[in-house]
Structure 1
Amino acid sequence: MALFSSAPKSLCILRLSAIGDVCNTIAAVQAIQKQWPTTQITWVTGKLEAQLIKDLKGIDVIVFDKKQGWKGYTQLWKELKGQKFDALLHMQYAFRASIATLGIKAKYKLGFDTARSQDFQTLFTNVKVPSPKETHVLDGLLAFVKCLGVKDIKASWQLDYNFHDKTWAEQKITLDRKNLVIVPAASKGYKNWTAEGYATVITHAQKQGWNILLAGSPSQIEQDLASDIERLTSNPVTNLVGKSSLKQMLALLDLADLVIAPDTGPTHMANAMNTPVIGLYAHHNPERTGPYLYREYVVSAYDEAIKAETGKDKSELSWRSRVKDKQAMQRIQAKDVIAMFNKVTQG
C-alpha cells in the first residue's frame, strides 16, 4: 500500500556515494518530481557526488563529508535542525549512512527489506521497501518511489551542465568524425581491463574513422593506464585523463557518439545522458550493476569467472555474488569488444 495518496510536503534523500549509484538515484528522485513537482526535496550526499547533482532543479543538496568523521555528522544534523520530513528515503545501507539517519527527523524512514539490506540497516528504518523481482540496483531504488505512491517509475534522467562545460567539451571532440570516449579505468584497479585490449579496440575504431578520446579522474592508477594505452597505439589519441571536472566529463560523455568503460561512475553518467555505452564487466553481475539502458551492450566475463571461482552457475548463487579473482577482467577478449563495437555502430 502506498504511503501517500497526494503529494508529500517534503522528502529527504540519503544517498552519499558513489557516482554510479548517485546517477541511478537521480532517476528515482526525478520520478518523484514528475508526479509531485511541489514536493520539497532535500538530498544528503557526498562531497564529490554533490558536484554532479548540485544544479538539479528543485533539489536542495546538503553535503556530508565522511572524511571529517564524527564532526561530519554533527554538522549535518545542525544543518537539518528544526526540519521534519514526511519521509526519509534511506537509499544506502552502509553503516555510516545509517548513523546519519539518527539526526534526521521524519515520520517515515524507508529502507531496504531484508532481501537487499546489509550492515544492520533495518534497525534504522520503520518502513521496509519490498524488493522487486528485478536484480538491478536501480530497480531496487525505484521500489522506494513506488512505495511512496508514485505511479510512473520508468527510469529517465535530466542532467544539466553549464555553457562553459559544454564549450570545453566541444573543443575536445571533432565535428567531422564520430567520437569514441574511452574511460579506461575505475578507482579500483581490479576492475580495469588491459592496456593491450584497449589499444587493439582503438586501432580497430580508428580504421573505421573514429576519433578517440581517453577520459578519467586524476588518480594515478587512471593516468598510468592511459599512458600505457597511448604507448601501445600507433596513431595518436586525445588523452584527457585527469584534465576535466566532473561536469566537463558529463558534457564530454553527452557529446560523444559512444563510450567504452569498465564498472565505474562515468559508465552510468553516459547512460544518464542517453549516450550508448559498452560496459566491460567481470566482478559484478552486469544485470545488477550495468548501465541500465545499455545492459545489452555489456561485454561480460562474469558468468565464466564466477563459475570458475565457485564451481556453480550464477543462477545457483546469490544475486549479489561478486567475483574475487583480481585477474578476472583479463578474461575479456579484445575480439569480443570489437564485435560489440561493430554491432552497436553498424546496427
Structure 2
Amino acid sequence: MRTSAIGDVTHVVPLVRTLQAASPSTRLTWVVGKLEQKLVGDLPGVEFIPFDKGKGREGMRAVREALAGRRFDALLHMQVALRSNLLSLAVKADRRIGYDRARSKDLHGLFVNERIEARTGEHVLDAMASFIEPLGLAQTEVRWDIPVPADAHAWAAEQLPGETPTLLVSPMSSHTVRNWRVERYAAVIDHAMARGMRVALVGGPSPAERALADQILAAVKHAPLDLTGKDTLKRFMALLGRSQMILTPDSGPMHMANAAGVKVLGLHAASNPNRSGPYSDRRWCVDRYDAAARKFLGKPASEIAWGTKIEKPGVMDLVEVPDMVERLEACAGFLALPLGR
C-alpha cells in the first residue's frame, strides 16, 4: 500500500521489480492513488486497486469492496498518514509490515504487527526498498522500466521532432515554497536557448501551473515551447525520452525524470537532495540545503533531524542563477551535447 504521491510511487516501482524477479509466482496487488495509477497502472504482473482520495469515505469504501473476502500473506504498509492507516484496515493480511517507530506517526503502529529496521541517513527510495527485507529479500538492483504507450511516444515526437538537444523545465512543486523565482527560471531558459538548446516548458493543467508558466513566458527573451497542461503522465514520460535534461524543484517530475534516465538540474534548498533528490545521479543538482539550515535553523544540516524540511519563505533564493547555469554547462559537457557558442 502506497497511494501517493507521484514521486514516492515512482520510488516503489523498483521494489515491485525486485519482488517479481525474486518470486515470479507471487501475486502482487498494489493499493494506489487514482492519479498515481495513471503512471504505474500498466506495470505487468500487478493488480491495481485505485484509491480516489478526493472522494473521502466513498473512496475508502470502494477499496474495501474491491478487497472484500480476500486475505493476503503480507501487507507492505508504506504510508504513515492517518488516512492511509485507516485505509489499511481494508487489507486482511497475516503479516502487516510498517515503518519503524522513529518514522511512524498518526498511530501507524496500531495498524502493523511488524516493522522495518530503524535507519537514518538514507534516501526515500532505499527506505521503501527495506520493506521487503522482513520477507527475506534485498533490493540489490534498481530498475524502473515504466511502460510508455505508443500513442504517447507519437505525441512526444510531434512536439519535439528531430535530435535537437532538449531541456525540459518543470517549474512547479506541490510545495510552492520550493519553487524558484520566475526571473531565475527565465534567465536559465534564455541561457539554454542562446546555447542552441530546445527548451520546453511543462506542467499540469491546474490554474496555478498555468499562471506560473505565463509569468515565465512573460519574463523570457526567447520563448520556449509551451506544453503546460498539454501532457499527461505518460506523455510526460515520452517527452523525457526525447530530452537530455530537466530543470525542476523537488517534485514528482524530478523522480519521473530520474526513472527515465534523464539528467536532473535539481533546485534544492528547502529539502535535502541526499534524502529526496534524484536517486540515480545528483551531480547536476544545486544543493543549498546546508546553507538553508544555517540561515533558517541556526545550525548545519548535519545537526538537524534527517528529513527535516526547511520550507521557509525565501529559502529558494539561496539557489542563484550562476549556480544553475554552471550545472547546466557541466552536464552538457558530460553528455557531449553539440551546443553553439
Task: Give TM-score, length-normalised by structure 2.
Answer: 0.95
Matching of residues 247-266 of structure 1 within 5 Å: 247-266=234-253
Please give the alpha-carbon distance, in whole angstroms, between the structure 2 residues aligned to 1:203 and 1:169. 23
Please give the alpha-carbon distance, in whole angstroms, between the structure 2 residues aligned to 1:301 and 1:225. 23
Partner of 1:75: 62
Please give the alpha-carbon distance, in whole angstroms, between the structure 2 residues aligned to 1:99 and 1:276. 38
Which secondary structure state, in structure 2, belongs to the residue aligned with residue 86 of structure 1?
strand
Say if 2:121 and 2:306, in contact at 8 Å, map to a contact too. Answer: no
Give the one of 127, 132, 135 matched to 1:148. 135
Q: Is the aligned partner of 1:86 residue 2:64?
A: no
Say if 1:55 and 1:160, in contact at 8 Å, map to a contact too. Answer: yes
Which secondary structure state, in structure 2, belongs to the residue aligned with residue 63 of structure 1?
strand
Partner of 1:277: 264
Give the one of 52, 58, 64 matched to 2:45. 58
Q: Is the aligned partner of 1:45 residue 2:32?
A: yes
Give the one of 142, 162, 165 matched to 2:152. 165
Identity over the aligned pairs, expressed in percent? 37
Give how far 1:243 is off: 1.0
Say if 1:199 and 1:229, in contact at 8 Å, map to a contact too. Answer: yes
Please give the alpha-carbon distance, in whole angstroms, between the structure 2 residues aligned to 1:233 and 1:69. 42
Say if 1:165 and 1:251, in contact at 8 Å, map to a contact too. Answer: yes
Moved segments of 4+, more than 6 Å: none
Please give the alpha-carbon distance, in whole angstroms, between the structure 2 residues aligned to 1:253 and 1:164. 15
Q: Is the aligned partner of 1:115 residue 2:106?
A: no
Which secondary structure state, in structure 2, belongs to the residue aligned with residue 260 of structure 1?
strand
Which secondary structure state, in structure 1, belongs to the residue aligned with residue 90 of structure 2?
coil
Say if 2:178 and 2:311, in contact at 8 Å, map to a contact too. Answer: no
Give how far 1:112 is off: 0.6
Once the two structures are superposed, residues 52-104 of structure 1 have per-residue CA deviations (whole angstroms, 9 ceiling, x without a partner) of: 11110111111111222222222211110121111000011111111011121
Please give the alpha-carbon distance, in whole angstroms, between the structure 1 residues aligned to 2:139 and 2:90. 31
Matching of residues 261-340 of structure 1 within 5 Å: 261-340=248-327
Once the two structures are superposed, residues 204-235 of structure 1 have per-residue CA deviations (whole angstroms, 9 ceiling, x without a partner) of: 11122100001010112211121121122222
Say if 2:182 and 2:215, in contact at 8 Å, map to a contact too. Answer: yes
Once the two structures are superposed, residues 19-71 of structure 1 have per-residue CA deviations (whole angstroms, 9 ceiling, x without a partner) of: 00000011112111121121111000111001011110111111111222222
Which secondary structure state, in structure 2, belongs to the residue aligned with residue 212 of structure 1?
strand
Please give the alpha-carbon distance, in whole angstroms, between the structure 1 residues aligned to 2:19 and 2:200. 36
Amino acid at match of 1:76: V
Please give the alpha-carbon distance, in whole angstroms, between the structure 2 residues aligned to 1:134 and 1:262. 21
Amino acid at match of 1:211: R
Q: Is the aligned partner of 1:139 residue 2:159?
A: no
Give how far 1:265 is off: 0.6
Please give the alpha-carbon distance, in whole angstroms, between the structure 2 residues aligned to 1:195 and 1:26. 33
Give how far 1:133 is off: 4.7
Say if 2:15 and 2:139, in contact at 8 Å, map to a contact too. Answer: no
Give how far 1:183 is off: 0.4
Let me know the Cα RMSD of the aligned residues: 1.3
Partner of 1:6: none
Say if 1:146 and 1:153, in contact at 8 Å, map to a contact too. Answer: no
Task: Give TM-score, length-normalised by structure 1.
Answer: 0.93
Which stretch of the first structure deviates more once superposed, 114-123 or 77-86? Answer: 114-123
Which stretch of the first structure deviates more once superposed, 167-176 or 92-101? Answer: 167-176
Amino acid at match of 1:213: A
Which stretch of the first structure deviates more once superposed, 143-152 or 168-177? Answer: 143-152
Please give the alpha-carbon distance, in whole angstroms, between the structure 2 residues aligned to 1:20 and 1:326. 23
Structure 1: unaligned runs, 5 residues or longer: 1-13
Say if 1:132 and 1:143, in contact at 8 Å, map to a contact too. Answer: no
Structure 2: unaligned runs, 5 residues or longer: 335-341
Please give the alpha-carbon distance, in whole angstroms, between the structure 1 residues aligned to 2:106 and 2:283. 32
Which secondary structure state, in structure 1, belongs to the residue aligned with residue 137 of structure 2?
coil
Q: Is the aligned partner of 1:227 residue 2:214?
A: yes
